A and B are shown apart, each in its own frame.
Chain A
Amino acid sequence: MRPTLRLVLLGALALAVVVVMPLVGGHVLPWSVLADPRGTDPAAVIFWQIRVPRVLAAFVGGAGLALGGAVFQAIFRNPLATPYTLGVASGASLGVAVASSLGLSLVVGGLSTNSVAAFAGALLAVGVIWVLTRLRPGISSTALLLAGVAMNFFFSSLILFVQYTASLGDSYRIIRWLMGGLGGVDLYTLANMTPVVVLGAVAVARYARELDLLATGPEIAASRGVAVARTRTRLFLATSVMVGGAVAACGPIGFVGMMAPHICRFLVGSHHRLLLPASALFGGAFLVLCDTVARLVLFPAELPVGVITAFLGAPFFLWLLVRRVVPGTHG
């Protein structure tokens, strides 16, 4: 099957997931609510004002995290590089942890405190990586990856510190947030994150060709005409904006960012023109499915979605690795 066709099919599947999942829940809603967006009966209200924003937010968040993973894997030429492993997500988490324990109010231009704090943290993490690439222009991607991992640990220790010194209530709120979840997501959150993630996604898509070349190696990319340092800086910035937006809304959900690009490389190949949209669609649909499971398992209570993504994703990914379908993993 042609890769383009596979992308179209993936798109159709993702659309189906987004349409069907809001119907699924503790109470399965009838199809008829679809035709009644302004309805006032309980089913229509649950569907349009609670479940649809939540499903859309899960989709946008999952798409943002997956795109971030695809970009980082190309820039670092390493299958383990994701915003999560490189400390961007933990930077964002640190921002939120600090803001909640200090009771900061950082509402900027309609963005919530958590969003602003997550952004600041994500930018901080990306800033450190970026400074490293500038201080040592020839730095290997392995060294950068190690630096990112070290930073991840550093931020994690700061988060632990903040949590340890915080009041019991704040500490619980931080833990709860770190598990990731879409429970509190409403139209307002959705309206906050969507423009940010879309903006980052468009910026990243603009660099699809450059990403192909960067993935073949920085020297080749430079000799083919890519302004490597400038391109990397812009991609870092776009990714941190995107991941900051996603993490601010959904919490630091791991694994989507690593898994989605790998599976999509198997589906549509390594060209970022196809890989980027495929990763976004897959990551988005996957998070929607996980969130649906999270809503259902303990109904009427719900699980944090972060518990589900890796619980379902990791065994699936291991199975793919054993079946040798993930490109670039052959010994």
Chain B
Amino acid sequence: MSDPAIITEGLCVVLDETEILKDVSMTVGRGEFLTVIGPNGAGKSTLLRCLDGILEPSAGRVIIDGRPLGDYERRELARTVSYVPQPDSGSLDFTVRSYVEMGRYPHLGAWAALTEADAEAVVESMELTEVAGLADRTMSSLSGGERQRASIAAALAQGGSVLLLDEPTSFLDYRHQVKILDLLDRLHRDEGLTVVAVTHDLNSTVAFSDEVLALKDGKVAATGKPADLLDADALAAIYDADFRLISGGHRGLPLVLPARNGS
């Protein structure tokens, strides 16, 4: 058995004298789909940024494929880990194709043009995410769901084995949510990618994942299979809110409804 894809050891992050993450240790197996849940401000996005080395932890370390992040060069890390942030409101007047091509950056020399292999990776990523037909549209002209898929395409073009996503289905209508979830499912099942997604979507995204990590106040509140965490008591402890569970969700899991206090 090879090294796990991601290990964090005692990760702490302090920003402006506030502790955002406190001693977070976790392991993500190769090819696993992990969802990270928890209330707003629990440190979920901060954890993702640490995993991609965008944010330097104040203490502890991240190990990717058996090597500490500090041993990676920035470009080298980008060939292993890619990150899809929350949708940016900034206007992007790049076409989808050229935006995805920019994902090949860590493979390119300073003055070098795109090679055959780069072009293939770009086409493949666009086909996997079904944005090939939008290749000549500008990013800013796309709908939220299309833009999210193009962002994932650009991340895939990096050719890494670990994909990090920050709330990939927020702001999307149901049809596009399902498309993104299908895509993530295929990516980790068929392409063997390790996927880590931060989400508030307990009923779909969490149900599709292999493992769940719950953060609360910067600490690991719970870990387990979706079946373990999709439980009224467990969720109440994580979110400080009441939940009602009804049967009939994906994969035999219950559906989670937030309940009004006392109801």
For A270, the closest partner residue in chain B by CB is: B93
User: What 1/0 mask marks residues of chain A from 106 to 145 whose CB sits below 8 Å from any chain B CB?
Assistant: 0000000000000000000000000000000010000000
Q: Using Cβ atoms and an 8 Å threshold, which residues of chain B touch A170?
A: none
Q: Given A222-B74, A327-B93, check contact A271 B52 (CB 8 Å).
A: no
Q: Are the CB atoms of B94 and A271 closer together than 8 Å?
A: yes
Q: Are the CB atoms of A225 and B75 closer together than 8 Å?
A: yes
Query: Which of B15, B78, B91 meets A328, CB within 8 Å?
Result: B91
Tell me if B102 counts as interface (CB < 8 A to partner A).
yes
Q: Using Cβ atoms and an 8 Å threshold, which residues of chain A touch B77?
A: 225
CA of A330 to CA of B140, assembled, Å: 11
CA of A327 to CA of B90, assembled, Å: 12
A53 to B: closest C-beta gap in Å: 31
CA of A271 to CA of B99, assembled, Å: 10
A288 to B: closest C-beta gap in Å: 29
Q: Are the CB atoms of A212 and B90 closer together than 8 Å?
A: no
Q: Are the CB atoms of A225 and B90 closer together than 8 Å?
A: no
Tell me if A223 counts as interface (CB < 8 A to partner B).
yes
Q: Are the CB atoms of A216 and B52 closer together than 8 Å?
A: no
Q: Using Cβ atoms and an 8 Å threshold, which residues of chain B touch A216?
A: 88, 90, 92, 94, 99, 102
CA of A77 to CA of B94, assembled, Å: 14
Q: Given A206-B110, A209-B105, A217-B88, check contact A223 B52 (CB 8 Å).
A: yes
Q: Using Cβ atoms and an 8 Å threshold, which residues of chain B touch A227?
A: 74-75
Tell me if B192 counts as interface (CB < 8 A to partner A).
no
Q: Are the CB atoms of A206 and B93 closer together than 8 Å?
A: no
Q: Are the CB atoms of A224 and B105 closer together than 8 Å?
A: yes
Q: Are the CB atoms of A223 and B78 closer together than 8 Å?
A: yes
CA of A216 to CA of B78, assembled, Å: 16
Tell me if A104 counts as interface (CB < 8 A to partner B).
no
Q: Using Cβ atoms and an 8 Å threshold, which residues of chain A touch B90?
A: 77, 216-217
Query: Which of A222, A225, A328 meets B93, CB within 8 Å?
Result: A328
User: What 1/0 mask marks residues of chain A from 304 to 331 whose CB sits below 8 Å from any chain B CB?
Assistant: 0000000000000000000000011010
Q: Are the CB atoms of A224 and B93 closer together than 8 Å?
A: no
Q: Using Cβ atoms and an 8 Å threshold, which residues of chain B touch A224?
A: 78, 82, 102-103, 105-106, 154, 158
* Secondary structure call for the A interface: loop
B62 to A: closest C-beta gap in Å: 14
Tell me if B25 counts as interface (CB < 8 A to partner A).
no
User: What 1/0 mask marks residues of chain B from 27 to 52 whose CB sits below 8 Å from any chain A CB?
Assistant: 00000000000000000000001001
Tell me if A269 counts as interface (CB < 8 A to partner B).
yes
Q: Are the CB atoms of B79 and A225 closer together than 8 Å?
A: yes
Tell me if A226 counts as interface (CB < 8 A to partner B).
yes
Q: Are the CB atoms of A220 and B85 closer together than 8 Å?
A: yes
Q: Using Cβ atoms and an 8 Å threshold, which residues of chain B touch A225?
A: 74-79, 105-106, 158
User: What 1/0 mask marks residues of chain B from 114 to 139 whose CB sits below 8 Å from any chain A CB?
Assistant: 00000000000000000000000000
Q: Are the CB atoms of B93 and A213 closer together than 8 Å?
A: no
Which residues of B are in contact with A by a Cβ distance under 8 Å? 15, 49, 52-54, 74-79, 81-83, 85, 88, 90-94, 98-99, 102-103, 105-106, 108, 110-111, 154-155, 158
With A213-B102, A226-B105, A327-B93 already in contact, 6 other A-B pairs whose C-beta atoms are closer than 8 Å: A219-B49, A223-B85, A224-B154, A227-B74, A227-B75, A270-B93
- Kindly list the 10 A-B residue pairs having the minimum CB-CB distance in the complex, ordered from nearest: A225-B78, A225-B106, A225-B75, A223-B83, A224-B105, A227-B74, A222-B54, A327-B93, A270-B93, A328-B91
7 pairs, CB–CB < 8 Å, chain A vs chain B: A209-B105, A224-B102, A225-B79, A225-B105, A227-B75, A270-B93, A270-B94
